[in-house]
Amino acid sequence: MDLDALTRGDGDAWDDAFRWLWPVAYAAAQAKLQPFLPNEVEDVAIQTLEELVEAVRDGKPVEELKPLAATIAHHRAVSLLRERFAKKRGAGKTESPEPVQAETGADYPDPAADSPLAAVERKELAEGLSRTLSELKPPQGAILTDFFLKGLSYEEIAQKHGVAKNSVGVYLKRGLETLRRIWGRRGES
């Protein structure tokens, strides 16, 4: 990625950058919005890339663009969820005991209310993500994902990654310690 070409506004360089960054913005937006506002995923991804254009103008280095894309998309998605759910509750309230009706038709509480990173500033979020990417050593990230996001058991993870079943817990423990070291105690309600 040629930062000089990007800062000159070179259309071809930006085409390459958009193709490179689109999957990142899309995936981060999709992770938050897919269960609740799936039709908004593309719009949030587009807005994210538009904001990245301004970030490059303001001097962001190329190596920070992917984490930045992910954090901007995440932030925008959380804001959108809050805004939509506040509207549905009426009068701009953000807390309500009443469940609301999602686009999917299911009853659920505000999905953004439980977000441990919702109050984190975007700059801090991007820095935290960059640190996480550099400090979470393979296969820690993949094992954490398999356990916490995909719901695989210790046995399934051991088989998938070719590690001893007993060591799965060790990877998870060290991975969580890494996240806690970087992000502090954000998950505590």
Partner 1 sequence: MNDQEFFDLALKVIAQQASEADRAELDTLVARQPELKAEFERLQADTRLAREVLPMVNATEATAPELPAWARGQLQTKVRETFGRQPAPERATESETLGALWKWRWVLGLAAATAVVTLVVLPVFTRSAPPLIQVAMLDTAGATRGSDTNAWSLLRQSWEHATIDSFTDPEALHAWETNWPAPNKRPVVKVVFDPATGEVRLLGRWKGESFGKTLPVEQNLTATLEQAQLFITQRTSR
Residues that bind partner 1 (CB under 8 A): 7-9, 11, 14-15, 18-19, 22-28, 31-32, 38-39, 42, 45-46, 49-50, 53-54, 57, 66-67, 69-71, 73-74, 114-117, 128-129, 132-133, 136, 141, 144-145, 147-149, 151, 153-154, 169-170, 172-173, 175-176, 179-180, 183, 185-189
Q: Which is nearer to partner 1, 162 or 189 (CB)?
A: 189
Integer Cα distance of 36 and 82 in angstroms: 11
- Name the burial class of residue 118, with classes exposed (0-12), middle (13-18) and buried (19+) by CB atoms within 10 angstroms of its CB: middle
Nearer to partner 1, 10 or 89 (CB): 10
Q: State the minimum distance, in angstroms, from the CB of residue 92 to partner 1.
A: 25
For every residue of 57-95, DSSP letters joined together read: HTT--GGGHHHHHHHHHHHHHHHHHHHHHHHHHSTT-S-
**Omega before 139 within 30 of 0, i.e. cis:** yes
| Least distance from partner 1 to the Cβ atom of residue 176, Å | 4
Measuring CA to CA, which residue among 135, 131, 134 is closest to residue 174? 135
Q: How far is the CB of 61 from partner 1 (least distance, A)?
A: 15
Within a 13 Å sphere around the CA of 12, how many CA atoms are in the beta-carbon half?
2
* Closest distance of CB 166 from partner 1, Å: 8
Nearer to partner 1, 96 or 140 (CB): 140
